[in-house]
Structure 1
């Protein structure tokens, strides 16, 4: 499942098969979710048998399932080397959003994030990234639900996507391919702390929308909260966001997790307004989800509302994200491949 469509065409061409065979195979894998070459009834038996001897179609295995009271589902997926990752299916009004992982663990070390507490194990391959969507689709079908309503995918699970950019780039191509999963780039969101040079590469690729995990209005606090991310000075990051390529109606999402008595004061809200004054963006606020990283708590509801209202009063577009899946440790910052 590591072949992209171009390399699959080359593979089929070397076998002396007509070019359209590659497209047929591609559709069987990504659209029809075939788990075995023998299911591909419009492919010759000889070719099916030959491919089966050399390639494996099996996506990561579901080791464990947890379902929250709000319908959120967390799947623990086992990889070939016995490491595990997590992916989350989130029910919305009329559709599903899936949160997928790009690394096993994460090297960024954000102090309030359970994934950061795992440390970094390895990068995922393109197939391991994209096939999480196949696994989620099969889960929905097994439950008698419509997998075509899985329309939104966010790269906000375990890992920093831009530190695995080559694999993520190929995986995004697999997910947006019109003969495959056919996801809209406007419904694919990549969440990053901001990796110099890779940020611009993602922007040029036009393969998804950008979300930036900021979580602090100044460099000193960001270094305390996000030691790995602070390698790129916050002023330089903001300067890059000001120049980031966007279509007329597109905006960057700025993610800001509110931590009690840490980054939630009115003064810090005003600093955030000044910092983002020239960035074409919207701010997505989320009160901290309690996790295994001890010592971090969400602010009181009144403090959250005051922070939100101050940003809004200064002209920023703000959404307050409702946390889902907290009871099964599936919410933002809680993934730890438990």
Structure 2
């Protein structure tokens, strides 16, 4: 008989005392063998052993020259997903952000995204979503630093998180449960392409951050880049976002993939200035990460700077995301495709 994964259940599924002990050993100490839980009551250890506590299989991991690590993770049905660990310094403190996947493949079909070429295979279970955090955290503690802590989670890997709403919701509660992984809610970000009906259900989620994969403000261009815009156009998307309470000086992040000679014109700048509320918005410019067979190109550094400064001059908060992991195929879907073509060596 196959055991259900413990990571498919929120800790609220257990009595408080049991949840506290299991949360301490599994989610905080990353100890997945109940027989070694010192001083834990036998009844709790036996209860934990009723569930599957196994992690995902690391098929490949690589370290970029800039410190980014990418993991190709194997699932029990032989499918694979990707997770990327990005380190940066924030006020001289190390910030470690794990970018995780929510689906095997994706159904949205964005023309600039490598994952879109793979189509949608299935949703990830809650256990497979949380398992990315547990697997990468455990590997880092065993191989890099025994006290390693991932500080931020972003749902920006393969898949549309809101398309897998229920499992992503449950994963967010596990990630932020004080008895469990206990990440601060403002350290978890869900990125969506704009599934308006699910955006209107945002209040069902813990108070996590929202990021919108906008990429174009003109409806005709956004529909060309992102077929979902044919159903949920920009004006309806922006209206739906008004239902999300923006608390504690937080802002809605708009991700804007900057593509040469496509969405990087003065007309695009004017559209962003006209349509995005200045106080509640933060634009994150992402220079296009070119991959083999891609028809799109990255703008020059000078053009990227001009685009950013033009938005800032109009009062919009605007940053440029530093490109990470180019040498290890860190953009979504690139590694999986190459792994299936080639026998990639581990890069330690």
The answer for the alignment partner of 2:88 in structure 1 is 92
The answer for the alignment partner of 2:9 in structure 1 is 3
Q: CA RMSD in A?
A: 1.9
Q: How does 1:136-155 map to 2 (within 5 A)?
A: 136-145=136-145, 147-155=147-155
Cα distance in structure 1, aligned partners of 2:126 and 2:293 = 30
Cα distance in structure 2, aligned partners of 1:332 and 1:322 = 16
The answer for the alignment partner of 2:24 in structure 1 is 27
Cα distance in structure 2, aligned partners of 1:75 and 1:22 = 29
Cα distance in structure 2, aligned partners of 1:208 and 1:106 = 22
Q: Over residues 290-332 of structure 1, what are the superposed CA-to-partner deviations in whole Å (9 max), with x where a residue is unaligned? A: 1245211111222211211111111101001111011101136
Cα distance in structure 2, aligned partners of 1:146 and 1:92 = 19
Q: Over residues 151-200 of structure 1, what are the superposed CA-to-partner deviations in whole Å (9 max), with x where a residue is unaligned? A: 11111011100011100110000000111111001111111111122113
Q: Aligned with 2:201: secondary structure?
A: helix
Q: Which shifted more, 21-30 or 281-290?
A: 21-30
Q: Aligned with 1:58: secondary structure?
A: coil
CA 1:277–1:45: 2 relative to 1, 3 Å: closer
Q: TM-score, normalised by structure 2?
A: 0.89
Deviation at 1:21, TM superposition (A): 2.5
Q: Over residues 252-281 of structure 1, what are the superposed CA-to-partner deviations in whole Å (9 max), with x where a residue is unaligned? A: 000000011111111211112112146721
Q: Is the 8 A contact 2:98 2:150 kept in 1?
A: yes
The answer for the alignment partner of 1:41 in structure 2 is 38
Cα distance in structure 1, aligned partners of 2:36 and 2:219 = 55
Q: Aligned with 1:149: secondary structure?
A: coil
Q: Over residues 15-63 of structure 1, what are the superposed CA-to-partner deviations in whole Å (9 max), with x where a residue is unaligned? A: xxxx5133212322111112222222334556645653x4210121111
Q: TM-score, normalised by structure 1?
A: 0.91
Q: Aligned with 1:228: secondary structure?
A: helix
CA 1:333–1:270: 2 relative to 1, 3 Å: farther
Q: How does 1:271-282 map to 2 (within 5 A)?
A: 271-277=271-277, 280-282=280-282
Cα distance in structure 2, aligned partners of 1:314 and 1:174 = 40
Q: Aligned with 1:92: secondary structure?
A: strand
Are 1:185 and 2:185 an aligned pair? yes
Q: Aligned with 1:74: secondary structure?
A: strand
Cα distance in structure 2, aligned partners of 1:160 and 1:293 = 23
Deviation at 1:131, TM superposition (A): 1.9
The answer for the alignment partner of 1:58 in structure 2 is 54
CA 1:248–1:49: 2 relative to 1, 3 Å: closer
Q: How does 1:200-211 map to 2 (within 5 A)?
A: 200-211=200-211
Q: Matched residue pairs, number? A: 328
CA 1:305–1:330: 2 relative to 1, 3 Å: same
Q: Is the 8 A contact 1:103 1:158 kept in 2?
A: yes
